[in-house]
Structure 1
Amino acid sequence: MQQLCTSSGDFLIGLESTETAAFSQPVTFREYAVFYVADGKGVFYSDFGAFPFEGPTLLFATPLQLISMKSKTVFPIRFLRFHGDFYCIEYHRKEVACNGLLFNNIYLEPSVVLTDREIGIIERIQDDIADELRQPEPAEMVLRAYLQLFLAKASQLKIKSLNNPIHAIPRDESMEQFKQLLEQHYLELRKPHEYASLLAMSPNTLTKRCRRYFKKSPSALIQERFILEAKKQLHLTRKSIKEIAWALKFEDEFYFSRVFKKFTNISPQAFRDQTGISIVADLSM
C-alpha cells in the first residue's frame, strides 16, 4: 500500500491495489474507505445491509463498519482509505457534500455506478493520489486537494444517478413516510410493529415493502438509525459516554454500552478512541 502517516506512525491516507478475496471475511477499518471496482460483480456487505454490485462502480464504508465482499470470481479492486483527522468530511460538507450522500446514510445504497467516461475521471484522480504518495515527501495539502476533488466528483455522480429516471426506484409514499417517522421517533420507538401501526399496515406488509424499497428490513433500519446517531455523538461531540447514553434515552451508560457493542462489536469508548473526536466538536462549542 502507498500511504502517508504522521511522524508517530498514525495512518492518514493510503491507496492500495488488491483483490476481492482480501474482503471475503468481515473486516473493519478505523478510516473512511472507498472501493473502486472496474469490472466484476458480487455482493457488498456493510453492517446491516447486503448490496449487489457490478463494475464499474464505487463502494463506500464509514469507520469501523463491518464490511465484506462475496463474488463467484476474484477480481482486482482499488482501495482508498483516509482518516477523519486527515480530511474531516463534516467540516468540508459544503465543498464535497459527501456526508449523508456517500457516507452515513442508512437509506441509500453505499455505491455509485460509473459510465465509461466517468471511469477515466475517477482513475485519473486516483493516479494523481498514487503519484503524490510515491514522492519522497508527499505533500499533505496536495493529497487533501486530490481527495476533496475525488469526493466532490463522486458526490456529483451520486446526485446525477439519483436524479436519473432510468435507475430510479418507483417512489413508495408509505416507505417515504416510514423514513420520516423513523427520523422523528427512532429514540422512542424501537419495534417494527410500532411503525406498522402508525402506517396503518401489518408488520408483514411493512417488512416486504421496506426490503423492496430500502433493501433492508425495518428492524435493521431501526437499529442502524440508532447506531448512526450514537456514532455521531461519539465522534462529533465531547459529551461523556454517560451524557450520550442519557441523550439516547438509556437509563444508564452500561446498558447503552452493551447495546452498542452488540451491534458494532466494539464498545462506545473503544469506538471513540479509534476514530477520534472530530474538529467539529470544538467548532460547535
Structure 2
Amino acid sequence: MQVPLCMALKIPVIEQCTVSNSFQGGDLMVEDLATYLNRNHDLIFPHRHNFYHFLLFTAGGGTHSIDFERFEVQPWQIYFMSPGQIHSWQFEGSIAGFVVNFNRDFFKNFLMRPEGIANFSFFSGLVKDGVFMIESRERAAVLNILTRLLENVADEDFARVSLLYLFHVLEKQRGASRGSETNVYNHTLLRNFLDLIERNYQTLRLPKDYAAMLYITPNHLNALSNEFLGISAGELIRNRIVLEAKRLLVIHDHAIADIGYALNFNDNSYFTKFFKKATGLTPDEFRRSMQLTHEQNG
C-alpha cells in the first residue's frame, strides 16, 4: 500500500511567523542577521520554510547546507532559498549581515506576471544557482538597498520595489539575462520543465512524458537540459526524486520502506538500488551518515 506523501512523510516546516520578530508581521521580514540568529539559535536542525528566504553574510564563518550541499560561509556570500528547500547551518564567530523572508504572495498583485519571482535564476530551486558571491563593484549598492529596506520595512510598496531592484542588480551581475529571442524561449522552456518536475516527479519518471506536456520532442528537451544544466533530462528527473528521498530520510520517524512507497517505488529493494546507484550509499547508510554529521556538529 502506497503511503500518501502529503499525509505521512514530512520534514519540519518553519512558518514565517515562527521566525519573525514581534515588531514585523504580514508577508515580509527584514532583519539584522546577528539578531535573527540570536532569536532562532535552535534552528540548526534540517528544516524547510514555507516562504522565500535569502541571506547575505558580511562577516563570520562556519558552514551552511541547502538540500544537502554544503557551503563555507564567506563575507559577501549570498544565498537564496525557495519554499520547500531544506537547510541547516553551523555558524562560527561573529556573524553579520541581513536576512529577508517573504511569503509566496508578497508580489502577487504587484507583478504583471505572477511567475515573475521564479524567473530570477537564483529562485530556480537549483542549489547551484542560489549561492554565490556578490562582486566588489556591486557591494555598495546591495548594502545600501538592504539598509534602506531594513529602515523602511513597514512600507510594503517600497519594500517590493527595493527587492525587485536588488534582484535585477544581482541577476545582471550573474550575466543571467539572455539577448536572443531563441535563448529567452529556451530558458522559459527549461523553467517550465523544472516546474513540471516539481509537481510530477513522484509519478512521471520519463523525459518523454514531460516533453509531451511542453509540446517539444524528447531530443529537444534533453538538448535543452544539457545546454543549460550540463546533465540529461532523465538525470534531472532522477535527481529530484533522490533529493526528496534525502529530505525524508533525515527524519528518523519514517521507515525506509514507507519513504520508498511514498515516492512511488512499489518494491523497497528497487528503491534501495535506485538510491544507491545515485548516491553510492543505501538509504540506511545515508541516514546514519547524516545523523553522525549532526551529532558531530552538535
Query: TM-score, normalising length from structure 1?
Result: 0.50
Query: TM-score, normalising length from structure 2?
Result: 0.48
